[in-house]
């Protein structure tokens, strides 16, 4: 897979998938529903989730900010890891995607996770 | 039982910046393994090469073909197996299957990596491309997953930060008298706690280094040669995207692969005397020990702090220093675990370096952050 396809999944960072047959939801792109293998699915926008874990990464690839605060968040059954705009989050925080940032230098601008009550 | 025996092993020193090329390292390890097996080149009929980065770092394509030519093997079946950090164990798996099925009489399995062929950021980026595309966009690296899991583990079980440091201290201590280890020096809990943060709460001393090195084994049928028995070898995949796991501290590929391997061997966890665990990050040693069932969930950290996993403890783990201190040359790591177990099970080692009375050894080699795991159970000759 080239880096171009990886960046250009044609998806917004806050978009997830919903199966048209069994209504299962998932985030990480695949060709079929992981539960019922249906190839019929659509995308939807993630709204509010909960922070399950986070880490501040100091050693990052050359085109990624340092420090890179990453959060593991649950939007219902959908879980994902994404960059956070808050430096000091807490497990259990409510989070949503907001803002426009270059997640990798020179890449398309995308939203980061931010605390719903924060100023992020 | 597979009916396959490991008749010889070879390994190069693991080091930060080897003078020899990847091809030369692989050749040296294989020649040592063939000498150890007292096996001639003419007898070898299949070659299985574990390697991750030589193409990504623009060094060598077609490594298996270059290797057989360099060693002086002609007309054998040969290919290269890539399964990220578990390439070495996957190559071993393919070699065992070749001999067990009768397709091969004598198999040479070699794993090699020369990570100093490129600068650190290039290698880090090459490794991070094993992630899902939607993970890669976020700048996620392997230590990022380790930091998330370590934070969750310490929170869940109310474990002190020192618990992670103790894994590093133990594995460094074990590497002091391992002549091929990259770091033959002790570190203290304070050293580990004071080292720079890599991915909070993981610090530098919680993370394995980048390493150059090669390791090899010769496999033959038990009816044809003496050696350490391969009781079973098994693997399983996990989710590609790490976040899709229902629990951030579970690594399902490890539990699945280990269940298969114990079932195939008709052995239980209690039968194992010594284990090599894939401690790319200190927290992984704890998580994997619990996934495999050597310890109950949430208890491996206390057992480690009590010294149970020390080389003279009730259940020695990583007696050669593990990935943390022996080093982690990606494609060679799975084979270096097998070499360590063979030394222990043959009783080759001296003094405290030898685990007393080791009859059964277990290894787990993990690809990515649990994308795929390969387990091996070995038994003394």
Instruction: Assess if residue A35 is contained within a domain.
Output: yes
CB A85 within 8 A of CB A114: yes
- Shortest distance between the Cα of A14 and any Cα of chain B, in A, equals 11
pLDDT of residue B121: 84
pLDDT of residue A7: 44
Task: Write the burial class of residue B233 (CB in 10 Å: 0-12 exposed, 13-18 middle, 19+ buried).
Answer: buried
pLDDT-wise least confident of A86-90, B216-220, B349-353: A86-90
pLDDT tens digits along A11-69: 899 999 999 999 999 999 999 999 999 999 999 999 999 999 999 999 998 899 999 99
pLDDT tens digits along B196-206: 999 999 999 99
Instruction: Assess if residue A30 is contained within a domain.
Output: yes
Average the pLDDT over B123-150 and give the result.
Answer: 94
Is residue A5 less than 8 Å (CB to CB) from chain B?
yes
Residue B73, pLDDT > 50, answer yes
Nearest chain A residue to B201, by CA = A55
A55/B151 Cβ within 8 A: yes
SS3 per-residue string spanning chain B: CCCEEEEEEEECCCECCCCCCHHHHHHHHHHHHHHHCCCCHHHCCEEEEECCCCCCCCCCCCHHHHHHHHHCCCCCEEEEECECECHHHHHHHHHHHHHHCCCCCEEEEEEEEEHHHCCHHHHHHHHHCCCCHHHHCCCCCHHHHHHHHHHHHHHHHCCCCHHHHHHHHHHHHHHCCCCCCCCCCCCCHHHHHHCCEEECCEEHHHECCCCEEEEEEEEEECCCCCCEEEEEEEEEECCCCHHHCCCCCCCHHHHHHHHHHHHHHCCCHHHCCEEECCCCEHHHHHHHHHHHCCCCCCCHHHHHHCCCCCCCCCCCECCCCHHHHCCCCHHHHHHHHHHHHHHHHHCCCCHHHCCCCCCEEEEEEEECCCCEEEEEEEECC
Write out chain A residues lying below 8 Å of B151, CB-based: 53-55
- Shortest distance between the Cα of A4 and any Cα of chain B, in A, equals 10
- Shortest distance between the Cα of A41 and any Cα of chain B, in A, equals 18
Is residue A66 less than 8 Å (CB to CB) from chain B?
no
Is residue A8 less than 8 Å (CB to CB) from chain B?
no
pLDDT of residue A9: 62
Instruction: Assess if residue A97 is contained within a domain.
Output: yes
Instruction: Assess if residue A36 is contained within a domain.
Output: yes
The pLDDT mean for chain B works out to 97
Residue B111, pLDDT > 70, answer yes
| Domain housing A90 | 12-115
> Which of B135, B139, B150 is opposite residue A60, by nearest beta carbon?
B139
Instruction: Assess if residue A64 is contained within a domain.
Output: yes
pLDDT tens digits along B349-372: 999 999 999 999 999 999 999 999
Instruction: Assess if residue A95 is contained within a domain.
Output: yes
**Domains held by chain A: number:** 1
Instruction: Assess if residue A25 is contained within a domain.
Output: yes
- Shortest distance between the Cα of A67 and any Cα of chain B, in A, equals 9
Is residue A41 less than 8 Å (CB to CB) from chain B?
no
Q: Which residues, 6+ apart, have CB-to-CB distance to B70 below 8 Å? A: B23, B24, B26, B27
Topology of domain B4-120+208-379 in CATH is Peroxisomal Thiolase; Chain A, domain 1 (3.40.47)
Write out chain B residues lying below 8 Å of A56, CB-based: 147, 197, 199-200
B134/A80 Cβ within 8 A: yes
CA distance B307 to B36: 34
B200/A104 Cβ within 8 A: no
Instruction: Assess if residue A6 is contained within a domain.
Output: no
């Amino acid at each position: 897979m080239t880096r171009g396809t990886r960046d250009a999944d044609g998806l917004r960072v806050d978009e997830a998938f919903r199966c048209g047959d069994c209504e299962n939801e998932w985030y990480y792109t695949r060709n079929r529903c992981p539960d019922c293998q249906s190839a019929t699915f659509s995308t939807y926008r993630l709204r509010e989730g909960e922070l399950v874990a986070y880490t501040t990464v100091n050693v990052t690839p050359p085109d990624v900010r340092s420090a890179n605060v990453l959060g593991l968040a649950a939007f219902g059954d959908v879980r994902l890891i994404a960059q956070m705009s808050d430096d000091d989050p807490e497990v259990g925080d409510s989070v949503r995607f907001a803002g426009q940032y270059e997640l990798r230098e020179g890449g398309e601008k995308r939203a980061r996770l931010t605390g719903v009550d924060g100023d992020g | 039982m597979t009916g396959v025996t490991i008749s010889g092993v070879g390994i190069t020193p693991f080091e930060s910046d080897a003078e020899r090329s990847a091809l030369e390292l692989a050749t040296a390890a294989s020649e040592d393994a063939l000498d150890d097996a007292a096996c001639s080149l003419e007898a070898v009929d299949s070659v299985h090469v574990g390697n991750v980065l030589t193409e990504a770092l623009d060094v060598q394509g077609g490594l298996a073909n270059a290797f057989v030519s360099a060693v002086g093997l002609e007309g054998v079946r040969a290919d290269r197996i890539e399964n990220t950090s578990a390439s070495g164990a996957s190559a071993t798996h393919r070699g065992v299957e070749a001999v067990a099925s009768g397709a091969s009489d004598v198999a040479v399995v070699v794993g090699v990596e020369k990570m100093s062929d490129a600068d650190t950021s290039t290698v880090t980026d090459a490794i991070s491309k094993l992630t899902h595309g939607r993970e890669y966009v976020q700048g996620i690296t392997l230590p990022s997953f380790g930091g998330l899991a370590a934070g969750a583990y310490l929170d869940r079980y109310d474990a002190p930060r020192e618990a992670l440091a103790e894994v590093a201290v133990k594995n460094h201590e074990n590497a002091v008298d391992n002549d091929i280890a990259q770091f033959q020096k002790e570190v203290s809990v304070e050293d580990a706690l004071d080292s720079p943060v890599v991915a909070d709460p993981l610090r530098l001393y919680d993370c394995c280094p980048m390493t150059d090195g090669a390791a090899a084994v010769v496999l033959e049928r038990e009816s044809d040669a003496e050696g350490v028995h391969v009781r079973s070898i098994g693997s399983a995949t996990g989710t590609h995207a790490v976040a899709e796991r229902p629990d951030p501290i579970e690594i399902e590929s490890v539990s699945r692969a280990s269940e298969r391997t114990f079932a195939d061997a008709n052995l239980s966890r209690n039968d194992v005397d010594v284990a090599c665990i894939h401690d790319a990050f200190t927290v992984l040693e704890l998580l994997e020990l619990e996934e495999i069932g050597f310890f109950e969930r949430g208890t491996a950290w206390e057992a480690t702090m009590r010294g149970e996993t020390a080389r003279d403890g009730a259940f020695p783990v990583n007696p050669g220093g593990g990935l943390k201190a022996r080093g982690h040359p990606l494609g060679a790591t799975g084979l270096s675990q097998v070499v360590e177990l063979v030394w222990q099970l043959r009783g080759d080692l001296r003094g405290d370096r030898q685990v007393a009375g080791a009859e059964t050894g277990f290894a787990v080699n993990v690809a990515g952050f649990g994308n795929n795991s390969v387990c091996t159970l070995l038994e003394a000759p």
